[in-house]
Amino acid sequence: MPPSHLTSKVVFVTGATAGLGKAIACRFLEAGASVITCGTNEERMKSTIAELSAKGTFRGILADLSSSEAIGTLFKQLRDEFGRLDILINNAGIMDQFDGVGSLDPTLWDRIIAVNLTAPFLLSRLAVQHYLEQEEPRGQILNIISMAGKVGLGAGAAYTASKHGLVGLTKNTASYYGEKGIRCNGIIVGPMRTNVRCAFADRKNEEGCNRIMGLLQSMKVNHCDIDEVADLCVSLTAGPGSRQINGALINVDKGWGSLMG
């Protein structure tokens, strides 16, 4: 693909101030797209804007994805400034603390579901409505999921439930809107070195953590390369043959999923 093949496209990547989201934003900027992101950490956002603005048209907006009102305001800002959206990438997510249902704090459950599942639903809803308004409806949604969306012991109960829900949302959106020119896919990502685990830096369920970490170590599966996963996101949404892919859940995990069944 030529380096500027996405010059006219607008891409919204949630949670692109660090980790995989930032790598995805970089790859789309390098491909010529205009990129928008959101986040809650003001210092990290300022740093990301300074770094990524040098690569192309990049806009960072402070917004809390656990707030439906903030999501509505965020999407309005996007439309007012850019006038269009071509690709939505629901990347932002927060980790739980490895609790099973018996010890899970309902407040934590609510926040995990709000950010990891309700926010992608609300943003997908707004994106689909926008896509359908076009004279020739066309648009894409890519959901970044994880192996916790396919297995029972990839995280605690809240994170696992949120990612299983995102799998269902992906399939339903693809089935419902594919014939209308809107594609929706998901990538099932394996272990990566990101900042998602900061959520339980000060508190975690030791039993759950030890079981899950022990399972990963016993399988001896290497971490996925963040930059290569980001490359795949561009290929899946804008690469040769990508228009034929809708409703796919693609394992990007160095074989971890095949070991889990």
Token pair in block for residue 55: 């690569």
Annotated catalytic residue within 9, 22, 150, 163? 163
Residues 205-235 pLDDT 10s: 776 566 666 666 666 667 789 999 999 999 9
Token pair in block for residue 54: 């040098």
Determine the Cα–Cα distance for residues 154 and 195; give it in Å rounded to an integer.
Answer: 17
Residues 153-176 pLDDT 10s: 778 999 999 999 999 999 999 999
Determine the Cα–Cα distance for residues 138 and 64; give it in Å rounded to an integer.
Answer: 28
Q: What is the pLDDT, as a whole number, of residue 205?
A: 72
Residue 43: pLDDT band by 50, 70, 90 thresholds? very high
Inform me whether the pLDDT recorded for 37 exceeds 70: yes
Contact residues for 6 (Cβ-Cβ < 8 A; gap 6+): 28, 31, 32, 33, 234, 238
> Per-domain residue ranges for the chain?
10-259
Annotated catalytic residue within 159, 177, 180, 220? 159
The answer to whether 159 is a known catalytic residue is: yes
Between these two residues, 258 and 63, which has the higher pLDDT value?
63
Determine the Cα–Cα distance for residues 6 and 236; give it in Å rounded to an integer.
Answer: 13
Between these two residues, 260 and 95, which has the higher pLDDT value?
95
Residue 203, φ and ψ in degrees, nearest 5: -155, 130
> What mean pLDDT value characterizes the chain?
90
Q: What is the pLDDT, as a whole number, of residue 216?
A: 66
Find the mean pLDDT for residues 114-132.
99
Q: What is the pLDDT, as a whole number, of residue 259?
A: 60
Residue 1: pLDDT band by 50, 70, 90 thresholds? very low
Find the mean pLDDT for residues 63-78.
98
Contact residues for 110 (Cβ-Cβ < 8 A; gap 6+): none
The answer to whether 163 is a known catalytic residue is: yes
Inform me whether the pLDDT recorded for 204 exceeds 50: yes
Minimal CA–CA distance to 189: which of 142, 239, 156?
A: 142
CA atoms within 13 A on the CB side of 54: 4
Pair 247, 185: CB distance under 8 Å:
yes
Helix or strand holding residue 159 (H, E) = helix 157-177
Q: Classify domain 10-259 at the CATH superfamily level.
A: NAD(P)-binding Rossmann-like Domain (3.40.50.720)
Find the mean pLDDT for residues 192-196.
63
Residue 2: pLDDT band by 50, 70, 90 thresholds? very low
Pair 252, 189: CB distance under 8 Å:
yes
Q: What is the pLDDT, as a whole number, of residue 152?
A: 73
Q: What is the pLDDT, as a whole number, of residue 206?
A: 72
Residue 160, φ and ψ in degrees, nearest 5: -60, -45
Contact residues for 207 (Cβ-Cβ < 8 A; gap 6+): 98
Q: What is the pLDDT, as a whole number, of residue 194?
A: 64
Pair 143, 90: CB distance under 8 Å:
yes
Residue 191: pLDDT band by 50, 70, 90 thresholds? confident
